[in-house]
Amino acid sequence: MSKHTEYVARLPDANGQLFFPQEEHAVWQALYNRQQGNLTQFACSEYQRGLEKLNLSNDKIPQLTDIDKVLFDTTGWVTAAVPALISFEKFFALLANKEFPVATFIRSEDEFDYLREPDIFHEVFGHCPLLTNPSFAHFSHMYGQLGLAASKQDRVFLARLYWFTVEFGLIRNKDNSLEIYGGGILSSPGETLYAMGDTPLIKPFNLVDVLRTPYRIDIMQPVYYAIDNIEYLDEIVKMDIMGAVDEAKKLGLFEPLFEPKSKAS
């Protein structure tokens, strides 16, 4: 992970409460209201049910303590307030302990459509609703355990699995329609419309292919991978993921579908 950030996280007080100025609550409200209309049309039903359970405010950044009560009662998870960026080691350790890291800052207005760093809107609005789903929660827990035990080299491959599932995963329904379960899309009004449009390439999920697919964090994704339903995450857990990592290393990466960062506009 990059160690450079332009954001400063808010620190919780002794009671775990976070305090944000009104202008930052206004950013949450604007993001929530922009994305609310997209959810009923594009978000998977499991996400929508989770959003109802969390009962998030549309005009105020929620308290993590309130979210924890719902998550713990449904799947045994809680959140963990973290700075803007954390190490892979810390990230995997938190997931392995059923603690979901939440960066306690919110984006600036010029990064409404696409955010390079995960903020509290991305983590809470994008991911926490699905943490009420047993399949998603179990996958996230397993992923943390797997990453914690993996080598530094293998973690680079595992990052691609997380990227193309938890962050930017899609569901292909039997009628060929698409739904979103990836929090990176669900928390981005711009990427939601982009992902549901005609521009990106949508591929069926294949574990080795996913592990071989390069990505950039600072652009809209040129390719997404779609699973059949949210319960398919349970099937991925049963796969020989580290064996697939070894195979991906032998085969090498696919040719990127984007320009190198230094040449991209």
Residue of 75, 144, 115, 147 lying closest to 218 (CA atoms): 115
Instruction: Answer yes or no: 262 catalytic.
Output: no
Choosing from 122, 135, 141, 191, the catalytic residue is 122
Tokens of residue 96, six digits: 């392995």
Q: Is 167 assigned a ligand-binding role in the annotation?
A: yes
Whether 207 and 239 have beta carbons less than 8 Å apart is answered as yes
The pLDDT value recorded for residue 60 is: 97
How do residues 139-196 score in pLDDT, each as one tens digit? 999 999 999 999 999 999 999 999 999 999 999 999 999 999 999 999 988 899 999 9
Whether 135 and 45 have beta carbons less than 8 Å apart is answered as no
The domains found in the chain, sorted by start residue, are 22-249 (1.10.800.10)
Instruction: Answer yes or no: 187 catalytic.
Output: yes
User: What is the pTM (predicted TM-score) of this model?
Assistant: 0.93
Mean pLDDT of 67-92: 94
The pLDDT value recorded for residue 50 is: 98
Instruction: Answer yes or no: 138 catalytic.
Output: no
Write down the mean pLDDT value for the chain. 93
Whether 183 and 126 have beta carbons less than 8 Å apart is answered as yes
Q: In the predicted model, is pLDDT for residue 2 greater than 70?
A: no
Instruction: Answer yes or no: 151 catalytic.
Output: no
